[in-house]
């Protein structure tokens, strides 16, 4: 679950981000807090499934969430 990706993965990650952005743009009838809670619920389920499917460890999922918190709440 590292942020370090090779060149081939970067293109795939960028494409995925673009498609998610396009999808979220179509959800403009929902206020941002509703989208945030829905995305949180979805991310929680995805991370749980990844741990259960041994795609990542509990510690890697925990580290991912900690980094997300730091990125979200950082100032500047």
**CA distances to 4, 9, 38, 49, 69 from 45, in Å:** 23, 23, 11, 6, 17
What's the pLDDT tens digit per position in 20-49? 999 999 999 999 999 999 999 999 999 999
pLDDT at 65: 97
**Residue 54: left (phi > 0), alpha (psi -120 to 50), or beta?**
left
10 or 23: which leads in pLDDT: 23
What's the pLDDT tens digit per position in 55-67? 999 999 999 999 9
pLDDT at 8: 55
What's the pLDDT tens digit per position in 44-54? 999 999 999 99
Specify the DSSP class assigned to residue 56: S
pLDDT at 6: 52
Please tell me whether residue 27 adopts helix, strand or coil conformation.
coil
């Amino acid at each position: 679950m590292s942020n370090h990706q090779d060149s081939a993965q970067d293109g795939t990650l960028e494409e995925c981000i673009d498609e998610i952005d396009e999808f979220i743009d179509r959800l403009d009838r929902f206020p941002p807090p509703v989208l945030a809670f829905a995305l949180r619920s979805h991310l929680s389920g995805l991370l749980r499934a990844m741990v259960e499917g041994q795609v990542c460890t509990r510690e890697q999922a925990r580290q991912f969430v900690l980094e997300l918190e730091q990125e979200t709440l950082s100032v500047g």
